[in-house]
Structure 1
């Protein structure tokens, strides 16, 4: 009997050694598996999966601590289905028991997590959990995040050996995360350098301002994995920034939008002259107006970077936003983004200089034409008129003399016309005052206060050069009346303005999702708009889209198109 007891004890010790060997082997496999990946997202996923497998936990999670050091910027789970995650709702932010490990980065093992003083229960549809093991993950003596494991299978508690195994895994995880971050940083730096070279080449090749801004926004969106990238610039007379180009999800909703200076990320970055970040831009209390300018799905982690120049003045703002739940923009990412934004500032400045040079060249060419007309054409016409006038005295035939006299009068009239043309050439571009583009942007910006939200503005064509002053005055007056009607009568939550000069006509379209044009009511304002259109040989139409609201279109031909 004593021999049987010794044999049983020996077998138990052998089983224990085998179990320890298997666990060590599993730990080594987990370390190798985690260290094999270089993509940070895959590394984090492998870590939490390996941790749950090593201690036989039913549920596991990895929380990445945000830049503020107090909340979770990312939360990856194992054991929950997509349906359960959707039913639970927003991911944890790092409060309660999860925050306990954040504030005190030491291993925490509990038999009943609900009994802990920091626990305040689970949200609706959350599966019940009892046992708990939390271990911090450090990267170069800095706490990167925490591993959370609950409900060891078999109904047993997590023991000291489980804590040791997960603590060992967390050390290997820290090294793997550091390697992945270094690799990701090097790869991202290479992408930024390549994008900078592409933009420089585009600038030197003489690409237009819109083309360069589009290239900047799209490359920034691709490199940062942003859901949305837009570039907003200040416009004279508008209390805000106008989105000149937007790429990504809801890009169409942002295009031409007037973003207020107060209460928005872009406005704060423009005024401060330095980058501004937010963990969840659409829900950040520091920027209450952001929710009125965002797309339908809202903004996740976001950063707004001013497009600065050597003089320190911001020429606009580059806004990047990732999907909700993605990692926030860290300090390591801001430096290349700021350098990249400098390329956008150069593009804007170069476009302005190029436009100024073209304007100067145009003025010089007009001065040359005027000078040639005065010094050559008028003098020759005048000399020809004098010759004809002298010859008329020698013509004896009365009819011929009369015809020569009429020719002299025609030459005098032609000289007057040419002189008038010379005067027009020399004064046309010296007139002061903003162009139609700036006036339209100002009218849309002014309407934001009465509407309660900024309208969306889109402008196309050569509005400042092809549209004469009188027609531009009509367009601005019509735009103001239509926006005023939308604010007073339509009760709309979305208003869009499109101003286009193309194909020989200018077209102003104002659409909204309001109550539409009432059948009974004052129509004097609309009659005035129709009279303005007829006065310019144009038309004014009112349309009712299938989805409701109204669409008002005012158009008029441009000079030379009739």
Structure 2
């Protein structure tokens, strides 16, 4: 009997040793698996999956602490399906039991998480959870995030050995995260260098300003994995910044928008001359006027019970788009120079915020972009100066050569006319002299026109339209959305441009007085041999009975230049008014 007891005890010890060996092997495999990855997102996913597997937990999560050091900026889960995650709700911010590990970065092991004072209970549609194990992950001297594990299979509690295994894994995870971040930083630095080189090459090849803006916005969006990137520039006479180029999701809603200086990230960055960041645009009081304004996605719940809530999925704005989350606005300006605009980058709600490691190369890129814009403007100025010098040379040559020779020829003919005895021949010579005098007058008028055309010309049509739209924001109560297309400053004749400005002012004035709208869209394009101005709103529409003298005037303006004016009623309501004119007569 004693021998049987000793054999049973020996078997138990062998099983324990074997179990310890298997767990050590599993831990080593997990460490190798985590350290093999260089992509940060994959590293984080491997860590939480390995942790849940090592301690046989039903549910696991990894929370990444945000830049403020008090909340969670990212939340990865295992054990729940996408459908369950969507049903639970938005991302936890780290105020409940999750925040307990953030505030006190030490291992926390509980037999009943609901009994802890920091627990806030479970939100709707959340599976019940009882046991809990939380361990911080440190990267060098920084607490990067926390591992959260709940409900060990078999209904048993997490023990000291589980805590030791996860703590060991967290050390290896910190090293793997650090390596992945360093690798990611080096890759991003190479991307920024390539983008800067591409912009420089584009400038040297003579690219236009719109092409340079497009290149800047698209490269910044791609490198930072932003949902939206837009460049807003100051325009004379407009109290704000005009969005000149947009890349990414919902770009049409931003194109041509007048962004106020007050209540927007772009305005704050432009005035401060330094980057301005926001962890969540929809919750940031500084972004009250930022558009489109996202709608809050419901009340927030917290604690370990929210472990799977949080990818930010389901956060939508009023138009059904993904809500705007983290954002950064970077001024485009050289050191000590005038700001030439602002580059705004934003991600969807629930995605990582823009960290310090991203800001430094982004600021350098913005400085390079500002130099690119300045060079584009200098090239345009140089081309304008060359054009003026050429016109002045033509005028000088006409005056010094053509007029003088014509005048000398006229004097010679007048002298010869006195020697001609035939009356008919003398009369013909006299008419030739008169024709020469008339030709000299025409040439002098041409010279005057060449020397005064650019001196008397005002700002281009683009700037005039942007200014008119900016002025209308006060009377409308909201900024209209402006989009422009085509070579408006060069292809549209001055007379047609004056008509366009007059028509735009009348249409915006009508919308302010009669439409009672909350949105006005202005579209101006010069393509296909014509210029078309479209003003649409979501207001009450054009009344069937009412004064139409203003509309008749717009129709007469169109007929004078051989164009057309139409009034349309869209299916969704409101009105759409289109004024067209050909760019060339005949």
- Structure 1 position 328 matched with structure 2 position 347: no
**What's the offset of the Cα at 1:516?**
2.8
Q: C-alpha displacement at 1:337, in angstroms? A: 0.7
- Aligned in 2, Cα 1:496/1:292: closer, same or farther, shift over 3 Å? farther
Instruction: Note the C-alpha offset of 1:418.
Output: 1.3
1:313 offset after TM fit, Å? 2.2
Offset from partner CA, 1:171-193 (integer Å, 9 cap, x none): 11000000100111111111111
For 1:556 and 1:257, how far apart are their aligned partners in 2? Answer: 25
C-alpha distance 489-293 of structure 1, shift in aligned 2 (>3 A): farther
Q: Shift of the alpha carbon at 1:344?
A: 1.1
Q: What secondary structure does 1:291 align onto? A: coil
Say which of 442, 455, 463 aligns to 1:430: 455
Change (3 A) 1:90 1:487: farther
| Worse-superposed segment, 441-450 or 191-200 | 441-450
Q: 1:112 to 1:521 in 2, by over 3 A?
A: farther
Contact 2:90–2:310, Cα closer than 8 Å, also in 1? no
Residue-by-residue CA offset, 1:70-107 (whole Å, 9 max, x unaligned) = 11110111111111111122111111111111111111
Partner of residue 486 from structure 2, selected from 461, 467, 478: 461
Equivalent position of 1:542 in the other structure: 567
Structure 1 pair 349/231, CA: closer, same or farther in 2 (3 Å)?
same
SS of 2:161's partner is: helix
Compute the displacement of 1:503 (Å).
Answer: 4.2
> Match for 1:291 among 310, 314, 325?
310
Offset of residue 545 of structure 1:
3.4
Looking at structure 1, the residues matched to 113 and 167 of structure 2 have their Cα atoms a distance apart, in angstroms, of 19
Could you tell which deviates more after superposition, 319-328 or 51-60?
319-328
Shift of the alpha carbon at 1:411?
1.9
Query: Secondary structure, in 3 states, of the residue corresponding to 1:476?
Result: helix
Distance 1:523 1:297, change over 3 A: farther
Give the SS at the match of 1:507: strand
Q: 1:291 to 1:539 in 2, by over 3 A?
A: farther
Write the distance in 1 (CA, Å) between the matches of 2:398 and 2:467.
40
**Aligned-pair distance for 1:290?**
26
Q: Is the 8 A contact 1:264 1:290 kept in 2?
A: no
CA contact (8 A) 1:281 1:290 kept: no
Secondary structure (helix, strand or coil) at the match of 1:10 reads helix
Check conservation: 1:257, 1:293, Cα contact below 8 A: no
Cα deviation for residue 56 of structure 1 reads: 1.1
Aligned residues: 558
Where structure 2 has 5 or more consecutive residues not aligned to the other structure, the ranges are: 287-307, 315-320
Indicate the RMSD between aligned Cα atoms, in angstroms. 3.1
Question: In structure 1, what is the Cα distance between the partners aligned to 2:546 and 2:152?
Answer: 72
Q: CA deviation at 1:294?
A: 18
Q: Give the Cα–Cα distance (whole angstroms) in 2 for the partners of residues 122 and 413 of structure 1.
A: 95
Work out the CA distance in 2 between the residues paired with 1:376 and 1:502.
Answer: 41
User: Structure 1 residues 135 and 294, CA, compared in 2 at 3 Å: closer, same or farther?
Assistant: closer
| Superposition deviation, residue 436 in structure 1 | 2.1
Deviations 1:35-71 (A, max 9, x none): 1100000000000011111111111111101111111
The offset of 1:351, in angstroms, is 1.1
- How big is the shift at 1:488? 3.2
Distance in 2 (CA, whole Å) between partners of 1:208 and 1:80 is 51
Higher RCO structure (Cα 8 Å, ≥6 apart): 2
**CA 1:124–1:476 in 2, change beyond 3 Å: closer, same or farther?**
same
Q: In structure 2, the residue corresponding to 1:76 is in which secondary structure?
A: strand
Over 3 Å counting, the alpha-carbon distance change for 1:359 and 1:294 in structure 2 is: farther
d(CA) in 1 for partners of 2:512, 2:309:
21
- In 1, the alpha carbon distance for the partners of 2:570 and 2:118 equals 55
Other structure's SS at 1:367 match: helix
Return closer, same or farther for 1:94/1:452 CA change in 2, 3 Å cut-off.
farther
Q: Whole-Å Cα distance in 1 between the matches of residues 143 and 500 of structure 2? A: 60
Separation in structure 1 between the aligned mates of residue 356 and residue 450 of structure 2, nearest angstrom: 55
Give the Cα–Cα distance (whole angstroms) in 1 for the partners of residues 575 and 423 of structure 2: 70
Could you state the TM-score of these two structures normalised by the residue count of structure 1?
Answer: 0.94
Question: TM-score if structure 2 supplies the norm length?
Answer: 0.90
Contact persistence 1:273–1:313 (CA under 8 A): no
* Alpha-carbon shift at residue 547 of structure 1 (Å): 4.0
Deviates more, 1:120-129 or 1:175-184: 120-129
**How much does 1:364 deviate?**
0.6
Conservation of the 8 A alpha-carbon contact between 1:231 and 1:244: yes
1:493/1:522 CA distance change after superposition, 3 Å: same
Distance apart, 1:449 and its partner CA: 3.2
Q: For residue 512 of structure 2, what is the aligned residue in structure 1?
A: 487
Deviation of 1:502 after TM superposition, in Å, equals: 3.8
Alignment partners' CA distance in 1, 2:461 and 2:16: 84
Deviation (angstroms), 1:526: 1.3
Contact map agreement 1:282 1:294 (CA 8 A) in 2: no
8 Å contact kept, 1:282–1:290? no
Q: What SS does the corresponding residue of 2:533 show, helix, strand or coil? A: strand
Instruction: Give deviations 1:393-434, integer Å, cap 9, x for gaps.
Output: 344444443333333222222211211111111111112643
When structure 1 is superposed on structure 2, of 159-168 and 38-47 the one drifting more is 159-168
Question: Unpaired runs of 5+ in structure 1?
Answer: none
